[in-house]
Amino acid sequence: MTIDAMTTETRTFEADVARLLHMMVHSVYSDRDVFARELISNGADACEKLRFEAIGHPELLGDDPKPRITIIADPDNKQLAVEDNGIGMSRDDMVEALGTIARSGTRAFVERVEASKVAEDPQLIGQFGVGFYSAFMVAESVDVVSRQAGSDVAWRWSSDGKGTYEVASVPLAVAPKRGTRVVLHLMNDAVSYAEPYRLDQLVRSQSGHVPVPILLVEKPGAEAHDITDGTAIWVRPKGEIKAEEYADFYRSVAGQYDEPAATIHFRAEGRQEYSVLAFVPSSRPLDLFEPDRKGRMKLYVRRVFITDDADLLPRYLRFVRGLVDSADLPLNVSREMIQESPLLVAIRKGVTNRILGDLAGLAENDVETYAKLWDNFGAVLKEGLYEDNERRERLLKIVRFRSTASGGELRSLADYVSSMKEGQKDIFFMVGDDRARLEASPQLEGFRARGVEVLLLTDAVDSFWTTIAPEYEGKPFKSVTQGTAELSDIPLLDNSAKPDTETPSEIATFVAFVKKALGDAVSDVKPSDRLTKSAVCLVAPENGPDRQFERLLNAAGRLDEAARPVLEINPRHELIMALARLGNEERSFKEDAAHLLYDEARVLDGDKPLDAKAFSERLARIVTRGMSKG
């Protein structure tokens, strides 16, 4: 084959791609079989793109309307080719798709591999969209020859993966009539991949689900025979599909290499007809917390791929991977019209409700599996409590929490309500960023003394959904760091009688003194019924934001002025009683003590002293007085 030198161009890979190719061979090396799946998936995508384009331009199909992928084995020459009759690539397509892949996450992939030093992590490949480059795990060099549908020009991309690649025009006689041929010049220790029996087994096990027929040519010039018939897995009856087939399809559609934690496969009939095959991953996808929070469900219309950008699920279910295949949407629907289609709105509602229903069933029938799912995706599901008013009640039944009474195990709201104490009217919770710090908080002391369970919420979204005043079975949610604790009606565990709510006069006088001494630093100072061991704590005013929510707003620059907290004082604490007994001659000492109590409460609440210098000076005076008294 001769190539016109005038049309040959040698280019250098971007730095990240060059590093990636090196690591494909030397680091991510244990799961070499993955290259076949990736090349076949690319071929299937090309066929699906052509099917979509041919809706408006049927002439693109020419005299070859049936999509197919052909694998050509050539063990004698240590070569393997994967050819499709899909949409094909132009020269610019080749440079964009094969020479630069920054948009596919190359840099993140490289950094992850280098940081982990792990050589046996097949999940890495699928999660970063670098599938084509897995060919260099088995090939010394790769040639890609392609002719775009409707074009009279063909191009070849060639590289040995060591820093440069060539793009050249080629005669039409050596190119596919339409589509792309990827030729792998195999390494000496990878020649077995050109053996027909190995290829047949590999394709059936990894890509039997692909909705495009796959053919095998056992040696150049031989007749092609079918390996798979291209029957879409989602149109087959559930009873005929093995777990391994579901898992294989999940890995392809999700771009992950774990096992699905849950599989949801059903067909809706009636006013709208559509098939759904969806999966909940067993590990977190790396794009789970991307700012756009986009879903990853694909839309098909009568098995023709339309888009992976349709709004098929609410954003709090974006961890679900899979597809919806509609029998009612028109094949020529534009991507803009999709978003406004009333049919798609109905499909979205039906699919969302079914997935939530299946999650509820999993939560009830397989507690262990659901616990793992919740640890991965609970923070995302809870976004729905804030965003989806229509399904909030349904979501409240499947959310899970850790609490002061759970011992680390997950608890449902039904569990919580069934354990509520006599006189308890609210579902108590506490929000923070660290469970251990929450459990050590003085605000919990009075609740523990009464055996009252408190939900410990440590996800960022918890500060938001709790602000909308939700309730469960008529029980409102109440922050233990906001307003009064309302514990006086709940008996103590070691005393069935109600605790004494009368405040001794000298304590009341000291409380008033502290309030005057602190001035505008606090909105109020009052005796506490929530404290049993600590001397003081801070809480938010009844009508102000929760303390943690206020911190988030302040950090985001969304708070003009912070609400002044309430300082609660434990009237039964030895230190408080001793300070209350001091006379007016100790006024300056009591003022120092009042400010130090406030700073102590701030530290216990995760903040710094209000004025570090003043705190140091007061502490020095207190210590000096104590030494002189001694």
pLDDT tens-digit readout, 523-578: 999 999 889 999 999 998 887 677 777 777 766 666 566 778 999 999 999 999 99
Read off the pLDDT of each residue in 176-191 and give the average, rounded to a whole number: 96
DSSP bridge pairs for 411: 401
- CA atoms of 306 and 344, how far apart (whole Å): 13
Please state the separation of Cα 485 from the chain's center in Å: 35
Domains 5-230 and 234-374 share a fold: no
Read off the pLDDT of each residue in 426-441 and give the average, rounded to a whole number: 91
Helix-helix angle 196-207:243-254, to 10 degrees: 80
Residue 120 pLDDT > 50: no
What is the reported pLDDT for 342?
A: 87
Between 574 and 308, the higher pLDDT residue: 574
The fraction of the chain above a pLDDT of 90, given in percent, is 56
What is the reported pLDDT for 130?
A: 56
Q: With respect to CATH, is domain 5-230 assigned 3.30.300.160?
A: no
Q: What is the pLDDT of residues 223-235, one digit of tens each?
A: 999 998 888 899 9
Residue 206 assigned ligand-binding role:
no
Backbone φ and ψ for 290, nearest 5 degrees, come out as -65, 145
The fraction of the chain above a pLDDT of 70, given in percent, is 86
Residue 84 assigned ligand-binding role:
yes
- CA atoms of 171 and 142, how far apart (whole Å): 18
Which sequence spans correspond to the domains of the chain? Answer: 5-230, 234-374, 395-479, 505-629
Residue 281 pLDDT > 90: yes
Residue 181 pLDDT > 90: yes
What is the reported pLDDT for 380?
A: 96
Residue 2 pLDDT > 50: no
Read off the pLDDT of each residue in 360-382 and give the average, rounded to a whole number: 96
Q: Which of 224, 180, 143 is nearest to 47 (CA)?
A: 180
- Please return the burial class of 407, using the count of CB atoms within 10 Å of its CB with bins 0-12, 13-18 and 19+: exposed
* Tokens read off for 281: 């991953």
CATH superfamily of 505-629: Heat shock protein 90, C-terminal domain (1.20.120.790)
Residue 89 assigned ligand-binding role:
yes
What is the reported pLDDT for 615?
A: 93
Residue 418 assigned ligand-binding role:
no
Q: What is the number of alpha carbons within 13 Å of residue 230 lying toward its C-beta?
A: 19
Read off the pLDDT of each residue in 197-201 and give the average, rounded to a whole number: 91
**Mapping DSSP to helix (H, G, I), strand (E, B) and coil, where does residue 482 land?**
strand
Residue 42 assigned ligand-binding role:
yes
pLDDT-derived band at 124, boundaries 50, 70, 90 = very low
- Please state, rounded to an integer, the average pLDDT across all residues of the chain: 85
- CA atoms of 202 and 33, how far apart (whole Å): 8
What is the reported pLDDT for 157?
A: 95
Counting every residue written for the chain, the total comes to 630
Read off the pLDDT of each residue in 331-350 and give the average, rounded to a whole number: 76
pLDDT-derived band at 123, boundaries 50, 70, 90 = very low
What is the reported pLDDT for 28?
A: 47
Between 380 and 48, the higher pLDDT residue: 380
pLDDT-derived band at 187, boundaries 50, 70, 90 = very high
pLDDT-derived band at 48, boundaries 50, 70, 90 = confident
What is the reported pLDDT for 52?
A: 86
Between 15 and 44, the higher pLDDT residue: 44
What is the reported pLDDT for 270?
A: 86
pLDDT-derived band at 4, boundaries 50, 70, 90 = very low
Q: With respect to CATH, is domain 234-374 assigned 3.40.1390.10?
A: no
| Of the ranges 195-199, 300-304, 460-464, 548-552, the best mean pLDDT one | 195-199
Residue 350 pLDDT > 80: yes
- CA atoms of 180 and 144, how far apart (whole Å): 7
Write b or e for each residue in 228-242: b if 16 or more Cβ atoms lie within 10 A of its Cβ, otherwise e. Answer: bebebbbeeeeeebe
Residue 172 contacts residue 214 (beta carbons within 8 Å) = no
What is the reported pLDDT for 429?
A: 94
Residue 132 assigned ligand-binding role:
yes
- CA atoms of 440 and 393, how far apart (whole Å): 31
* Tokens read off for 244: 């391994």
* Weakest-pLDDT range from 67-71, 395-399, 503-507: 503-507
Helices (H), 466-586: 505-518, 547-555, 574-581
Q: Are strands 224-228 and 260-268 parallel, antiparallel or unpaired?
A: unpaired
Indicate the CATH number for domain 395-479: 3.40.50.11260
Residue 180 assigned ligand-binding role:
yes
What is the reported pLDDT for 260?
A: 95
What is the reported pLDDT for 224?
A: 94
Residue 24 assigned ligand-binding role:
no
Residue 446 assigned ligand-binding role:
no
Residue 106 assigned ligand-binding role:
no
What is the reported pLDDT for 5?
A: 40
What is the reported pLDDT for 104?
A: 40
Residue 583 assigned ligand-binding role:
no
Read off the pLDDT of each residue in 307-315 and give the average, rounded to a whole number: 86
Between 627 and 516, the higher pLDDT residue: 516
Residue 134 pLDDT > 70: yes
Between 264 and 335, the higher pLDDT residue: 264
